[in-house]
Structure 1
Amino acid sequence: MGASSSTASPSPEAHEQREQETLASAALALPLLRAAFSRSSSTADALPDALAPPRASFRAPGSPPALPLPPHFHDLLAGLGPAIASQFFGRAAGAADAAGDAGWVPFLRGFNRCCARTPASRSLALLLRVYAAACASAGAPCGIQLQEGDGEEGADEGKVAGELAPEEIAVFLWMCWAMAWSALAAPGAPGGGGDKSEPVAVLLPDVTHLVLSASVSAGAVADDAGIWGWEVSSDGKGVKVQEFTSWVLSTAPGLGNCLSRYVRDRIRLLAADSVEETSVSTVNTTFDTSDVYLLTRGRAWAIALSLRNKLAENFLTASVTGIDTDDLLYRSSVHGKGLSRFWSCAEGYHGPMLILLSAFSKGGGEDVGSGRRWVIGVLTEEGFESKDTFYGSSGFLCAAHPIFRMLSPSGKEKNFIYCHLHPQMRTYEANPKPVGLAFGGTIGNERIFLDEDFSKVVVRHHAVDKTYQHGSLIPNQGYLPVEASVLDVEVWGLGGEATKRQQDMYKKREDIFSEQRRKVDLKTFASWEDSPEKMMMDMMSDPNTVRREDR
């Protein structure tokens, strides 16, 4: 006769609930999820309304915009909440009115489908499904074809096929940016301001460089030859969904996190007290910086999507709420061109920095004017030091215009940064080191070299560089070094207020030392009668006079 077990085995329903709660707690706290489920169960439209972005009046960048905003874009965003609710949550919300917690497990199951940690390719497939459902509700054209999976739980496991036109890629990217905007720049109650408030005006970022990058990666646009003068249009050659997925995973992996982050933020707001609706923030969301700074909101967002470190959040915030001009350390059009001017602004800043430079070159035997300018950038993990050798621990090269491309470290060499000024003590050097800024390559064969006057930049083929990954930085680069005329240079500090305060303290200390060196204390000098100058004057006046040397 065996002893009976003191505890009965849990039922399959209880076991599944425990698993779902454990998985969901890794993304969001269970008390918040329970509060959100309680509020979503009040009415049938509570959850779709909560998952909808705040009301806003979006407009395309530029005046006139290079890519007009499609008329169905606002309807697409309005259908975003119902699309997410139907795709993942189904009838979980509103099912608890008759059966208590009967809808709790389906609610957790839907939350985990879109918010649990999954491969990046699957997260992107789910996001494309939501986009296709929102387009269907808005009556918008969509080239995505959904292949449903088998089984009740396989609705989100089917393959996503089809082809995206360039205009559709732009709308998809704008939808992803609007999802990020709703979390960072619109901290309001679920559903935004509601019908009582007027929609705020929001300027969308320029995503032409991202659309062009996806088209070039898929072969829809011939690299180098077809880049100049390319425009986003519905008549352009489309990109297959598989090729678009490959481009996202290699160039903009942050897009895969848009859906999970958006749902978590909307669920968190739903769980909060929504009685008092807060206003929607419009900080810098209506100001276009495309003609002011090289770091535009579109380029900041592209960099944020390509990074996988803590700096991605800084660039994402800059793309949504606007660029903080206090972080601008140096700008050649304001502070003057030259390495000495640059050094006076960047010296003492020991933190991550972004260097952007705009230039134009001659290629193919034709003169390329400033209308065909290109912009490249370098993202460093530390500040600049005046050395005659390469240094640094990490960094990224970036092609920002007209095409976007991010080149991460290769891990083979560590020639990340080279910054060499003229030495204060001029001495003879048999092999003088070049004076200027450089990134990658070796001394004499730098991947990017900016001369001392900031008037010319030389960009070499990636074959000379083992520090950064392979890839062209400018159109029509070729294998030979490309020498270009520099138009503007910007340096942005990304270390925060603490790093900026340390730089200010360093500059004040250096100013004090410089002032002390300028002061001359006359009391430390001897009298004229004992000075060597007087002795030399006397010798010149009467060189035959016998003088006794004092010992």
Structure 2
Amino acid sequence: MGQSSSTEQQLSPELRQVQSLAASTGALPSLEKAFSLLSDPQTKSIPIHSLQKCFDLAFESLESERGPVFKEFPCCLVTWAGLPVDVKFELYDDDCKISGSFSPRDIFMLLWICWIFSWDSRISRSNTLKKKGECRLPDVSHLVLSAIESSAENGHELDYWDSVVTELDFQLPAAKIHLWALKTVPHLADCFQQFLHARLCCLTTPEDKSEPSCSSSHESSSSAISETTLLTRGTAWAISLTLRGPIYEEMSKACFASEVDEINENLLYRSSVHGKGLNRFWSNIEGYNGPLLLLIAACEEENKTRRWIIGALTQQGFENKELFYGTSGNLYALSPVFHALLSSGREKNFVYSHLHPTGRVYEAHPKPVGVAFGGSIGNERIFMDVDFGRVTIRHHAADKTYQHGALFPNQGFLPVEAAVLEVEAWGLGGRTAREIQASYKKREELFTEQRRKVDLKTFANWEDSPEKMMMDMMSNPNTVRREDR
């Protein structure tokens, strides 16, 4: 006890504060173990070459889904902080002031570095650290355009469909970029934290001798899937930066190559495959009681080349109701510009999904048939009709459930009606939600099969047949009949 207390007295207040912070995050044991493995026993310090070996970001090849990789980008990876940007930090007593500016090219490379940190952390956790193979960078143009729109003085005047992001000549104030990141992608800084934690865990965990799967083959499969679905790796990663907990893990599986086998399992519905319409949609998502991401690609009749994609994330499955329901949810503008419109906390009109029962003939005041998010019945923020042919987008003034913001560039105040091109529904409830839905579908198939069966023995007996009963009722409908017991 005396030795422990004397040691603690020798520690500086700054070191005690750092140790207390590390202990509160649960990282102190792994840091201590990593230090013992990396440090020189004689100097009691970590050599630079040990750190470089532990946090090396080298891989066999580096490619991009959209155009070539910038020439200066690999150099930035070598030094991590090699971005030649004009940004300065001024420290005060209780605050830090950021000055300087970024170019769109700088934002592009910064986002790519953050994505590589997240990608590397998942590769490290899957014990494929020594066999990375090809790293295929996602398209993050939608995030760069979002930063330009929020930070540039004339960003709203930009043509977001025809612009080449890396060639734009804008100077984006660093302070505004910081505010944009906090609002739009609040968990972007976690990418670096995940990278460090995964590398330290990989260092202190016994090495798995089993042969890892080739990441390059996974990567090519993942890119093929991304090219054919609305949910690309870039948009999935952007959405994941707004999430926490299990739903973040499920969304991350669509971003990175190691989970490619489970991507198709999460795609519950796709209109080009399963057919358009609420009935087809319902037959594929019914019984799924977990978080769902609905994506809609649409374009206005005036300019069909300007396609935009929006999304809605619900925390529960869809229900056939005549009123709004739900506990929480988010709306997303995904393409060409990314925006996250989270819950405002003022109202709870998160989801509306209504499909008329087959037996109903007449209603005095019928409710709208379709899928909607936000607003109120008849004045929805997003409303897609029963045929999935048209979608109506209204201004955020009609909605108090989700945060303010446009769902596509130059939306305007008046309602916009557009043609639906594609609809997708992704399940984010994990394996448990999929198993529950599979059990539900199997039970429904069993009930349907039982209803179709005909008892031939009963119908072979004329006295018990429905035909005889109908004939007796027509011959003398006033006859009192008593059920045989």
TM-score range, shorter chain: 0.7 to 0.9
2-structure distance, mates of 1:454, 1:508: 27
Aligned match of 1:515 in 449, 454, 469?
449
Partner in structure 1 of residue 44 of structure 2: none
1-structure distance, mates of 2:135, 2:323: 47
Unmatched segments (≥5 aa) in structure 1: 1-6, 81-132, 136-141, 540-545
Partner in structure 2 of residue 35 of structure 1: 33
Partner-residue secondary structure (3-state), 1:45: helix
Compared CA separation, residues 518 and 532, structure 1 to 2 (3 A): same
2-structure distance, mates of 1:512, 1:70: 57
> Contact (CA 8 Å) 2:160, 2:336: kept in 1 or not?
yes
Which deviations, in whole Å up to 9, do the C-alpha atoms of 1:529-549 show, x marking residues without a partner?
Answer: 982554699x7xxxxxx9996
State which drifts further: 512-521 or 349-358: 512-521
Aligned match of 1:207 in 126, 134, 140?
140
2-structure distance, mates of 1:229, 1:424: 46
State which drifts further: 22-31 or 268-277: 268-277
> Contact (CA 8 Å) 1:28, 1:264: kept in 2 or not?
no
Partner in structure 1 of residue 114 of structure 2: 176
Unmatched segments (≥5 aa) in structure 2: 41-46
Query: What number of residue pairs does the alignment pair up?
Result: 462
Partner in structure 2 of residue 450 of structure 1: 384
> Contact (CA 8 Å) 2:118, 2:192: kept in 1 or not?
no
Q: What percent identity do the matched residue pairs reach?
A: 43
State which drifts further: 262-271 or 415-424: 262-271
Partner in structure 1 of residue 85 of structure 2: 143
Compared CA separation, residues 36 and 431, structure 1 to 2 (3 A): same
Compared CA separation, residues 253 and 524, structure 1 to 2 (3 A): same
Compared CA separation, residues 73 and 186, structure 1 to 2 (3 A): farther
Partner in structure 2 of residue 130 of structure 1: none
Partner-residue secondary structure (3-state), 2:340: strand
> Contact (CA 8 Å) 1:328, 1:493: kept in 2 or not?
yes
2-structure distance, mates of 1:374, 1:339: 21
How far off is 1:345 after superposition?
Answer: 0.4
How far off is 1:56 after superposition?
Answer: 3.8
Partner in structure 1 of residue 149 of structure 2: 216
Superposed, 1:51-130 pairs within 5 Å as 51-62=55-66, 65=67, 68-80=68-80
Compared CA separation, residues 161 and 275, structure 1 to 2 (3 A): farther
Which deviations, in whole Å up to 9, do the C-alpha atoms of 1:402-458 show, x marking residues without a partner?
Answer: 000111111111111111111232142111111111111111111111111111111
- Partner letter of residue 514 of structure 1? T
Compared CA separation, residues 231 and 517, structure 1 to 2 (3 A): same
TM-score between both structures, scaled by the size of structure 1? 0.77
Partner-residue secondary structure (3-state), 2:82: helix
> Is it true that 1:313 corresponds to 2:249 in the alignment?
yes
1-structure distance, mates of 2:478, 2:60: 95
How far off is 1:162 after superposition?
Answer: 1.6
Which deviations, in whole Å up to 9, do the C-alpha atoms of 1:268-306 show, x marking residues without a partner?
Answer: 333345797986744632342443000000000000112
How far off is 1:372 after superposition?
Answer: 1.2
Superposed, 1:137-536 pairs within 5 Å as 142-147=84-89, 149=91, 159-187=97-125, 193=130, 200-220=133-153, 222-223=155-156, 226-273=159-206, 281-282=215-216, 284-286=218-220, 287-288=222-223, 289-321=225-257, 323=260, 324-362=263-301, 367-369=302-304, 371-524=305-458, 527=462, 531=468, 534=471
Aligned match of 1:20 in 18, 24, 28?
18
**Aligned-residue CA RMSD (Å):** 3.1
How far off is 1:73 after superposition?
Answer: 1.4
2-structure distance, mates of 1:18, 1:457: 58
Which deviations, in whole Å up to 9, do the C-alpha atoms of 1:50-78 show, x marking residues without a partner?
Answer: 1222424211114xx2xx31112122212
Partner-residue secondary structure (3-state), 2:290: coil
2-structure distance, mates of 1:390, 1:158: 44
Partner-residue secondary structure (3-state), 1:311: helix
How far off is 1:235 after superposition?
Answer: 4.2
- Partner letter of residue 143 of structure 1? V
How far off is 1:481 after superposition?
Answer: 1.2
How far off is 1:174 after superposition?
Answer: 0.3
Partner in structure 2 of residue 134 of structure 1: 82
How far off is 1:523 after superposition?
Answer: 4.6
TM-score between both structures, scaled by the size of structure 2? 0.86
Partner-residue secondary structure (3-state), 1:59: strand
1-structure distance, mates of 2:215, 2:145: 31
Compared CA separation, residues 513 and 134, structure 1 to 2 (3 A): same
Compared CA separation, residues 547 and 308, structure 1 to 2 (3 A): closer
> Contact (CA 8 Å) 1:447, 1:464: kept in 2 or not?
yes
> Contact (CA 8 Å) 1:361, 1:483: kept in 2 or not?
yes
> Contact (CA 8 Å) 2:347, 2:401: kept in 1 or not?
yes
How far off is 1:239 after superposition?
Answer: 0.9
Partner in structure 2 of residue 48 of structure 1: 52
